[in-house]
Structure 1
Amino acid sequence: MDLNALLSSLFQSFCLPLCREKVDSLFDKEADAAGARILEELVASGDQSHLTEGWVVGEDEDGKRRLRAQLAALENSMPGGVCDYVRRAQRLLEASRVGENPFDGFVPSVPSGVTLAFGSDEFDRFERLGAAAARRTGFVIVAGGLGERLGYSGIKLALPSETMTGTCYLELYVRHILALQALTLAATDGTSAPADAPLPTPSLIPVIIMTSDDTDAPTRALLDARDRFGLAPSQLHLIKQGKVPCLSNGRAHLATEPNDRFCLLTKPHGHGDVHALLHTSGLARKLLGQGCNHLVFLQDTNALVFGGVPAALGVSVAHSLAMNTLSVPRRAGDASGALMALTTARPTPSTARSTSDAVEEGAVVSAASRTLVVNVEYNQLDALVRASLDARGDYNDPATGYSPFPGNTNQLIFSLGPYVEALEASGGAMPEFVNPKYTDGTRTKFKSPTRLECMMQDFPYVLPPSAAHAIYAFNRRLLALAGSRLPPAAKAIVGGVTVDAGPRVVLGAFFRPTLGIGIARLGGGAAISLSARSSLCLDGEIAISRLELDGALTIRAVPGARVTVRQLRIVNDGQALRELTSDELGSVKISETISEIARLRGYELVPPGESAGRVFNFEAPGDYIIDDKWAHMP
């Protein structure tokens, strides 16, 4: 070894570690000093003297340093910082104590909107407009939750959306996004564009996933194990939400861990953090600069949402909406949030946009009249309507059979320009609420620590057996709209839940990138028939002219493969739905042979997966024809 190499080796071995130690030490000292300043302000003006009560100079110095470091870290991760968080908490807790009505001063009314019916010309027009706009749209998946309340040990995005294919929610979402992305390279009739066709700008649809401390590692592992489900690394962005301090009582005292008085107890701030993260990460501004016009926000377990997203996006484009909420018909009394227009009784004369209104959670703002279109929880809705709108309260309109206040799915579409403008005006801070569980009528003591939350109002996601059957029913409806022959509608009880029975149908994302294209590919109309016990799975560019199915059939085509089913008749044993016995559900020993997902649903398909029945896999680009008058498989 020459002298230069020796000196370089010594520098790498000794000097660089020493430099890093000095840098780390400098950062530690800066963080400690910052934490000390925050702690001093909390004690002096934030009513947080309990944090330093009993401190003795020279004792527990490591613990004190840990607390100061935690405060410094929280200061950098929370809009407004720790002290401002405490002040907001004190105001909200006092309002809760005296029973302030958050809707005081507002008059409710039925919100205006666009009602679309599947299969109508209007739906098709908006869907085509939205599909064209998808190339300049980003998709945000809010995925901070585990499946614990469902009895599932993993992340909700890993749950299967239905049992026939076992496609998990994350894969389902990604495939729908990739199908819309591929559609931007296709002609208006759904045929593939030439391979050398110029890419639109941006050519790849951005996908942003918000995770939490609980879900970040499992989400990354799922993406890595499945090669991001086909997403390019450059189009995938993961942002992780942090936590906020918990509050131990009505004075907003910061709570500490039960066994560590030098560590603040923290919990997630809620999925409303996604807006702040898009701002502080710079992603929202970056996407706007890259040519994105809209952002679509998706909850983590809504398998049917892409049936309506393209059309809803088309409505946003056609009406130049700053914000649009995808809603569904809702019956009065349903335990789900509803959309309502709230107008203040004291309108402001200003025509300028109000910053506080612009970032109101789930709100569309009319600044001049101060009208907000917001989600109102079902347990507040009836009293609010009775008090100032209609003595009937939350009622069903006799003409429709539904409440005039539509159900909020919390699937949101923002015009990116106004969205970025509002975030930058607010610094990413979102309106918050607090929901303490009081021990008594004084409303000052809590049963357990609470915290401030900012959340897009929860859609009541559950995973009963009916969830998968709702997907099958939705796809049967598309077959019916195309004129296919299906058995009469029927009901069945599965796992103690009444569901719509009939053929199990899965129409994949690449078969129906939009509903209009899916219906067009079922061009055979009445020449397509399915028996009640049938299972049908289609994914890819597949056109069906004639199909008689009594059993199980799967046809898959990779991108670039074009399949025409001229004539196909299938009869086989298919798949049967077998409900689990009480012993299988309750016995740990027996349950070792039953999957966790089957135990959640209460049933399994026999035989499992797509091994049942006839399977056609077209794994290379090209044109294919299926013309098989009789295909029998015992």
Structure 2
Amino acid sequence: MPSVPTGFQPFSAQEEASTCLEQLLEYEDRGLEELGDCCFVIPAGGLGERLGFSGVKFALTADLTSGCCVLAVYASYIKAFEALAQARRGKPCTLPLVIMASSDTETGIKELLERNNHFDLEPSQVSILLQEKVASLADSNATLAMEGPYQIATKPHGHGDVHFLLHSSGLVAKWQAEGRKWVLFFQDTNTLYLMTFLCTLGVSARHGLEVNFVAMPRCAKEAVGAITQLRHSDGRSIVVNVEYNQLEPLLKATGHPEGDVNGPDGLSPFPGNCNELLFSLPEYAAELQSSGGQLVEFINPKYADSSRTAFKSPTRLECMMQDYAKVLGPQARVSFTRYPLEFGYFPCKNDIATAARLASEGTPPHGAASSEAAVYHAFGTMLSLLGAKVAPAELRQWRGGPQLMGPAVVLWPDFAPCFAELRRKLGSSASSWNLAPGCSLEIQGQDIRIDALDLAGALKIRVVSGASLHIQGLRVQNKGHEFVALSEAEQSGEAPESLRIRGYRLVAHETKVIEVLEPGAFVLDLDGELKKV
């Protein structure tokens, strides 16, 4: 019998900032105590062909303002978390990163890491595990699909293989021997995951959660998995992810004739799964010793016709990493942490034509444009919650469908790895920040303080490690940046793939750049003079 589980909601973007931030910051502080004992795992076995990108998805440009790729963003957060943990504990900290690759992505991921000096991570802290493929099936009789007379066609087995590989590689046992306590699993094209990680970690630590699903608001029948409590007739219950195409028939078969419906707030009562999971390592290690990391498999064929015998294309057995919760006993503490939609699930996985079709149907497009807009909106929301005045988003029409786009704000992880750090750096000055419509703001650097900012245009601030910058007040008015739709020729091939999947390019008309490239303390005074103090 399905029902809505009880979880945790640290804050709501609709609450008063003073109300919503108090609990959030308490959870972040608790998470900071645990940060040095964390491990990070990313399944990344798929290429970007589905969205019209020929490389590995880690190489996708997360946003045009910074030009940073997805893996660089993830690595920057890990470096920022290491700095926070080191400051808290007073000793060096290295946080391991594991990437599960496939034969399709292994070479591309390794080349991306080597070409970029591992994005400043130590090569020894990054492990790549190789996922094997399984035989493909051609029809309902489980006839093996063939690529040639003597070669069986194969496909990936799903991201659930990550548990088996972590166990068989010995990494989980190694982490446990090192005294590590937490493992975060997330996927490869949503750079919002780590914005709220410290809070999620604090929720798990405070409430003793064995599995913590990160969730977001979800509309009824939306094509996103739902966090659901399933109760057996004997009273046993578990909290698991139920895929959207399974939730509807399950509800109808158990006394809910209308299935999944929206409540008075316009949302389904079942939270949406963001495919981000935080596990407690001791219990996880014990379960892997018992199960070997094997999960329940399923098959999801696409039938060619109503006879339901022939497949449109070969299918295979697969498993999902979130189904780990289904192998746990009823005593396991499994719950979820729900964040506002502004910090939800905005992956880049659909090509521009599919994104346009989904948008026209009122469904989240999950394309490159919506993924990029979500980055800007999330950072703008962080600033707004702390008291800054940020212009509202405006509707833009792209080839991938209509998209709300506000000020293009990118706060690098070394500047804002969490709400607490951003609040500390803004202090009481947040109310003196004003970001005008169409403006662009990029801030990179660990030790930056800005007393007042009035931005109508484009501003980029970069401060190297070992340097500090205090901006006493700054007013910027220039021609700024402009997002411009691609021409037919550009969309047809003249523009690079990273732009064609968006349908637009960024034109930097004019940018105010403030850089501190040497160690030391610097001040930008009210007259605009940069001085070393």
Shorter-chain TM range is: 0.7 to 0.9
Structure 1 segment 261-340 matched on structure 2, within 5 A:
261=150, 263-340=151-228
**1:434 counterpart residue number:** 299
Alignment-mate amino acid for residue 503 of structure 1: P
Q: Structure 1, residues 58-110: CA drift from partner, whole Å, max 9, x if none?
A: xxxxxxxxxxxxxxxxxxxxxxxxxxxxxxxxxxxxxxxxxxxxxxxxx1010
**2:11 counterpart residue number:** 117
**1:519 counterpart residue number:** 423
Choose the corresponding residue for 2:279, options 414, 438, 444: 414
Is structure 2 residue 128 aligned with structure 1 residue 238?
yes
**1:405 counterpart residue number:** 270
Report if the CA contact (8 A) 1:131-1:514 is conserved.
no
The root-mean-square deviation of aligned C-alpha atoms, in Å, is: 2.1
The separation in 1 between residues aligned to 2:476 and 2:320, in whole angstroms, is 49
Report if the CA contact (8 A) 1:548-1:568 is conserved.
yes
**2:37 counterpart residue number:** 136
Report if the CA contact (8 A) 2:159-2:321 is conserved.
yes
Q: How far does residue 448 in structure 1 lie from its aligned partner after superposition?
A: 4.0
Q: Structure 1, residues 218-253: CA drift from partner, whole Å, max 9, x if none?
A: 100000000000111221111110111223444434
Is structure 2 residue 502 aligned with structure 1 residue 601?
yes
Report if the CA contact (8 A) 2:190-2:371 is conserved.
no
441 and 279 in structure 1: CA distance in 2 versus 1, 3 angstrom threshold: same
Q: Structure 1, residues 539-564: CA drift from partner, whole Å, max 9, x if none?
A: 22211111111211111122332221
Choose the corresponding residue for 2:91, options 198, 210, 215: 198
**2:388 counterpart residue number:** 484
Figure out how many residues of one structure are paired with residues of the other and give that number: 481
Task: Give the secondary structure class of the aligned counterpart of 1:185.
Answer: helix
The separation in 1 between residues aligned to 2:297 and 2:400, in whole angstroms, is 39
**2:149 counterpart residue number:** 260
Choose the corresponding residue for 2:64, options 163, 168, 185: 163
Q: How far does residue 444 in structure 1 lie from its aligned partner after superposition?
A: 5.1
Is structure 2 residue 101 aligned with structure 1 residue 211?
yes
Choose the corresponding residue for 1:564, options 461, 470, 487: 470
Worse-matched range after superposition: 204-213 or 498-507: 498-507
Q: How far does residue 520 in structure 1 lie from its aligned partner after superposition?
A: 2.8
**1:508 counterpart residue number:** 412
Alignment-mate amino acid for residue 211 of structure 1: A
Q: Structure 1, residues 505-542: CA drift from partner, whole Å, max 9, x if none?
A: 10110111112211332231221112212111012221
Choose the corresponding residue for 1:625, options 509, 523, 529: 523
Task: Give the secondary structure class of the aligned counterpart of 1:186.
Answer: helix
Report if the CA contact (8 A) 1:482-1:520 is conserved.
no
585 and 425 in structure 1: CA distance in 2 versus 1, 3 angstrom threshold: same
The separation in 1 between residues aligned to 2:165 and 2:478, in whole angstroms, is 52
Report if the CA contact (8 A) 1:333-1:378 is conserved.
yes
The separation in 2 between residues aligned to 1:301 and 1:487, in whole angstroms, is 27
Is structure 2 residue 89 aligned with structure 1 residue 224?
no
480 and 208 in structure 1: CA distance in 2 versus 1, 3 angstrom threshold: same
Q: How far does residue 377 in structure 1 lie from its aligned partner after superposition?
A: 2.0
**1:498 counterpart residue number:** 402
Choose the corresponding residue for 2:251, options 381, 385, 392: 385
The separation in 1 between residues aligned to 2:322 and 2:173, in whole angstroms, is 25
The separation in 2 between residues aligned to 1:214 and 1:284, in whole angstroms, is 25
- Kindly name which structure, 1 or 2, has the bigger radius of gyration based on alpha carbons: 1
333 and 252 in structure 1: CA distance in 2 versus 1, 3 angstrom threshold: closer
The separation in 1 between residues aligned to 2:94 and 2:110, in whole angstroms, is 20
The separation in 2 between residues aligned to 1:556 and 1:132, in whole angstroms, is 29
Report if the CA contact (8 A) 1:248-1:448 is conserved.
yes
387 and 502 in structure 1: CA distance in 2 versus 1, 3 angstrom threshold: same
The separation in 1 between residues aligned to 2:154 and 2:248, in whole angstroms, is 34
Report if the CA contact (8 A) 1:472-1:506 is conserved.
yes
Report if the CA contact (8 A) 1:487-1:530 is conserved.
yes
Report if the CA contact (8 A) 1:296-1:412 is conserved.
yes
**What percent of counterpart residues are identical?**
41
**1:91 counterpart residue number:** none
Report if the CA contact (8 A) 1:530-1:550 is conserved.
yes
Structure 1 segment 334-373 matched on structure 2, within 5 A:
334-345=222-233, 347=234, 369-373=235-239
Is structure 2 residue 430 aligned with structure 1 residue 542?
no
571 and 249 in structure 1: CA distance in 2 versus 1, 3 angstrom threshold: closer
Worse-matched range after superposition: 326-335 or 370-379: 370-379
Report if the CA contact (8 A) 2:163-2:321 is conserved.
no
Report if the CA contact (8 A) 2:161-2:321 is conserved.
no
Q: TM-score, normalised by structure 2?
A: 0.85
The separation in 2 between residues aligned to 1:246 and 1:198, in whole angstroms, is 50
The separation in 1 between residues aligned to 2:469 and 2:258, in whole angstroms, is 55
Is structure 2 residue 454 aligned with structure 1 residue 553?
no
Q: How far does residue 502 in structure 1 lie from its aligned partner after superposition?
A: 2.7
The separation in 2 between residues aligned to 1:630 and 1:234, in whole angstroms, is 43
Q: How far does residue 449 in structure 1 lie from its aligned partner after superposition?
A: 3.2
Report if the CA contact (8 A) 1:551-1:570 is conserved.
yes
Task: Give the secondary structure class of the aligned counterpart of 2:389.
Answer: coil
Higher relative contact order (CA 8 A, sep 6+): 2
The separation in 1 between residues aligned to 2:37 and 2:518, in whole angstroms, is 29
Q: Structure 1, residues 437-458: CA drift from partner, whole Å, max 9, x if none?
A: 4456665554543221012369
**1:530 counterpart residue number:** 435
The separation in 2 between residues aligned to 1:496 and 1:438, in whole angstroms, is 28
Alignment-mate amino acid for residue 130 of structure 1: G
The separation in 2 between residues aligned to 1:615 and 1:389, in whole angstroms, is 61
Q: Structure 1, residues 451-478: CA drift from partner, whole Å, max 9, x if none?
A: 2101236976432312211111111111
The separation in 2 between residues aligned to 1:465 and 1:443, in whole angstroms, is 36
- Structure 1 gap ranges (5+): 1-106, 188-192, 348-368
Report if the CA contact (8 A) 1:109-1:389 is conserved.
no
Q: Structure 1, residues 419-454: CA drift from partner, whole Å, max 9, x if none?
A: 111111112211100123445666555454322101
The separation in 1 between residues aligned to 2:232 and 2:207, in whole angstroms, is 24
**2:260 counterpart residue number:** 394
**1:467 counterpart residue number:** 371
438 and 600 in structure 1: CA distance in 2 versus 1, 3 angstrom threshold: closer
Report if the CA contact (8 A) 2:277-2:322 is conserved.
no
Worse-matched range after superposition: 162-171 or 421-430: 421-430
**1:147 counterpart residue number:** 48
The separation in 2 between residues aligned to 1:471 and 1:539, in whole angstroms, is 15
Q: Structure 1, residues 94-130: CA drift from partner, whole Å, max 9, x if none?
A: xxxxxxxxxxxxx101011101215521111111212
Task: Give the secondary structure class of the aligned counterpart of 1:563.
Answer: strand
Alignment-mate amino acid for residue 209 of structure 1: I
Choose the corresponding residue for 2:320, options 449, 455, 460: 455
